[in-house]
Amino acid sequence: MMLKGKGWNLQVLTECCCYLIFGYLLFRLTYSGEYLNYVTPRMKPYLYGMSALMLLWTVWEGRNLLTPQYKANLSRSFVFIIPILLLAVRPAAPGGSSMIQNYDGPGISMAAGNGGGLLSARGNQTTPSEKKDSMADSQEAFETDTPSENRTATKNTGSPEGIAEGIADESVDESADETVDESVDETAAREDESPWYDLNGLDEDTKTITIADEDYYTWMYELSSFYEKYEGYTVVMKGFIYKDPEIEKISDFALVRLSMWCCAADLSPIGFLVDCSGTLDFKEDDWVVVKGALEASTDGESLMLKAQSIDRAEKPATEYVYPYF
């Protein structure tokens, strides 16, 4: 039952206040950049859009402010209480080793995509030794599939039959060689192709890679995908120290950062194992800059930085890594 006349509609007033407060807090979270602790940068336009929607909703609902209602049902506004409280009194952003220990994945993520590989002894990434074995197997398969008489020069006996056989064998040899050469040329061409992303911080003259905060994921992708090109390069990168019993079996610690694909619920560690060959003067979760040579671990199952220096560093303004280019 609606009562016509002067006065405020308490129901509409409460709902408008909830919409307005929620929209304002969401806008402040987005504008300040703090939203990056919870979702990726791709969500920014959607958050702004939601803030604008809350403002429009407030204006639309406000038309009924002066239309009194016989009985207000304030419980309808409770749905906004929890999100308003979460935005007004935000919990501490997850991070550090405590987040990794709650991570259900089997290792340190190194490859691109949600189905990417892993970089610890517990992972299943295609490791340096496996890639070399794969190349050896391919060569062995080629030699096995190609008859030996087609891979070696046939001696000419001087008879017409021998001459004909020699010509046929040489033709087969040339055809096989051309096929191999073309395959090698295509492989080399693919390796020489420039990536579609920028490799900032690469100095090929000194064989040094300096990884800036904004280029972290780009280089994680590049080094894990094409590590053969950079084996022996000196890498300078920042991250926090993470220790784990499985990791400490093959290295001193892992230098990682947390990557976020969608939201804080899917944070996962991404980085390198580090061998410092000495006493470590830093504790777990400390942010450091490691300078070291990129190489494979002794068991050939992981990529590792052979540390030359480890220096204390400040936590970056944007702590998380967002895995896209």
Q: What is the pLDDT of residues 134-155, one digit of tens each?
A: 545 545 554 555 554 444 443 4
251-283 pLDDT, tens digit each:
889 999 999 888 888 888 899 999 987 778 899
Contact assessment for residue 288 and residue 310, using Cβ atoms and an 8 Å cutoff: yes
Report CA 150 to chain centroid distance, whole Å.
Answer: 47
Nearest to 323 by CA among 225, 218, 212: 218
Does the model's pTM come out above 0.85? no
**C-alpha–C-alpha distance, residues 319 and 257, integer Å:** 8
Residues in the chain with pLDDT values less than 50: 1-3, 5, 103-107, 110-127, 135, 138, 142, 148-160, 162-168, 172, 176, 180, 184, 187-190
How high is the pLDDT of residue 281? 86
Task: Give the DSSP letter of residue 278.
Answer: S
Contact assessment for residue 158 and residue 166, using Cβ atoms and an 8 Å cutoff: no
**Angstrom distances, CA of residue 315 to CA of 95, 212, 257, 262, 324:** 11, 13, 11, 22, 21
- Within 10 A of 302 (CB to CB), how many other CB atoms are there? 27
CA torsion sign for 267, 34, 97, 118 is positive
